[in-house]
Structure 1
Amino acid sequence: MSAQSTTIPVLILVFPEFNTLDVNGPLEVLRNTYLKTQPTNFSITVAAADEHTTAGEDIIIKRHISLPEALSSISSYSILIVPGASPSAILPHLKPGDPHFAALLDVCEAFSRLGPVADGTERTLLSICTGALMLGYHGLFDGLRATTHFMVFDKLRELCADYAERNPGAKGTVVVPQSGGEPVRWVDAGLNNHGVRVVSAGGVSCGMDATLFVLSERLGRATALKVAGVMEYAWRENV
């Protein structure tokens, strides 16, 4: 890396029973060996409620910072990634007054309201798999399109509709694919009202496709294709 290299800071939020590929897939893309030789690359910070967090696959990850620290430094980050987990690790806590995801969602909401970074570059909020359930419940897809794992399409619709019912004036969310629609790997919903790009991925491996899309938006399609090639991964671009 040269002295003139630039770094795009990425924040990943993990929580008990998170899916490892939802995290490791984006890590493989954004910290790919090829990118480490390029003028622009990515730095990764992992935030969590506890010092150590056990994934659904029983792998333990150590955080870099706490969720309160992530919240206080949220303007430092250009990309925020929210992984998923088994629905049973998420859905029981998506109800008023449940504190389980409160701090994590505070971080997500703060990021979603930041707008572009100082140089005008847009920020990106990326949910992977069932991570979309948390964002939908909290209204961060309101007025936008979104997707998630195919097994919880209806649950995401229900959560987004519930948010709209609880918040008069909400615009609602279109969960795709709609009935009879073509399957999607990810959805680029464009910019929210604060100028943050919102991207949601389908289940598990879709997170790699979505992250390659985010990479292509930042560094160009040729770079994303090169990274996919180094990974020996067949990037599904057709969304």
Structure 2
Amino acid sequence: MTHIGLLLFPQLTVLDLIGPYEVFCRLPDARVDLIWHSLDPVITEHGLPLTPTLRCDEVAKLDVLCVPGGYGVTPLLNDRPTIDFIRRAGAQASYVTSVCSGALLLGAAGLLQGRRATTHWMSLAMLRELGAVPTDARIVHDGKVITGGGVTAGIDFALYLAAQLRGQDVAESIQLAIEYNPDPPFDAGHPSRARTELVAQLRHRARDAQTRRAALLSQAAQGLLQTGGMRVGATTGLTS
């Protein structure tokens, strides 16, 4: 039985979690839990409540840790109970994974030191401050760490991980079952293809939130430096 745990926290982006959750729940011989510090309903980014199935302090060992993203990542960058849980669960897991800005929480926990990683394009450069090597790709696999890009990349990442866990035939069967056959009406899903003015508008709208995130991320990075970080192959257990 493969135990997969997705962190469910306030103000997360629902699709970051639900996309992978749908794929993981279709894996044979897998248990999938939504994990938080309590079992009370969690209010996500746009007001949808979701209910955790397992508390952080009930987790003994996960085979897969998955951390989604969203604006709720920002206040957690220096939240000691959450960062300690991610560090502990990540050290023991066979795969340490994230979707979108969830990678920043992996980094704040010291789990991306020296690793190639990706995240949402607006936060990609921030990974460097946490010791990672920012990599602009849909999916990045470095050792036991697998990170997915922004939001919708969670489905791609989850299918990729499904193939690692159960083989390509199983992953393809899941893809067919959920009819994951992307054919977007516009080619504007990445700043390398979207119109320049559109990218600028989105950056402007997110400016204040990104400024707050950068400030708290710098605090998290300073904390890693003060403690000597979490060196790969040492206390993180990231030796793959």
Aligned to 1:3: none
**Structure-to-structure mapping, 1:127-138, within 5 angstroms:** 127-138=98-109
Q: Is the 8 A contact 2:69 2:101 kept in 1?
A: yes
Cα deviation for residue 28 of structure 1 reads 1.0
Q: Within the alignment, does 1:222 sit opposite 2:169 as a pair?
A: yes
Task: Measure, in 1, the Cα distance between the counterparts of 2:7 and 2:76.
Answer: 16
Q: What CA distance in whole angstroms lies between the structure 1 residues aligned with 2:156 and 2:162?
A: 10
Q: Note the residue ranges of structure 2 that are not aligned, 5 or more in a row.
A: 183-240
Distance 2:114 2:127 in 1: 14
AA aligned opposite 1:90:
V
Q: Deviations over 1:155-176 (max 9, x none)?
A: 2223x1xxxxxxxxxxx42110
TM-score, normalization: structure 2? Answer: 0.70
Measure how far apart 1:92 and its partner are: 4.6
> Matches of 1:112 and 1:186 in 2, distance apart?
19
Q: Distance in 2 between matches of 1:91 and 1:29?
A: 26
Q: Which amino acid counterpart does residue 92 of structure 2 have in structure 1?
A: L
Correspondence 1:152 to 2:123: yes
Residue by residue over 1:101-139, the C-alpha shift from the partner in whole angstroms, topping out at 9 and shown as x without a partner, is 322221221122226xxxxxxx11111100011111222
Q: Of residues 63, 76, 101 in structure 2, which corresponds to 1:78? A: 63
Gaps of 5+ in 1: 1-6, 116-122, 161-171, 178-183, 191-196
Runs of 4 or more consecutive aligned structure 1 residues displaced over 6 Å after TM superposition: none
Task: Indicate if the aligned counterparts of 1:47 and 1:67 stay in contact, CA closer than 8 A.
Answer: yes
> What is the aligned-residue identity percentage?
29
Q: Is residue 61 from structure 1 mapped to residue 50 from structure 2 by the alignment? A: yes
Give the letter for the 2:132 counterpart. Answer: T
| Alignment of structure 1 residues 4-83 onto 2, 5 Å | 7-32=1-26, 35=27, 40-50=28-38, 51-70=40-59, 73=60, 75=61, 77-83=62-68
Q: TM (normalized to structure 1)? A: 0.71
Q: Secondary structure at the match of 1:188?
A: strand
Maintained 8 Å contact 1:67/1:103: no
- SS of 2:29's partner is strand
TM-align CA RMSD: 1.9
Say whether residues 1:114 and 2:115 are aligned partners. no
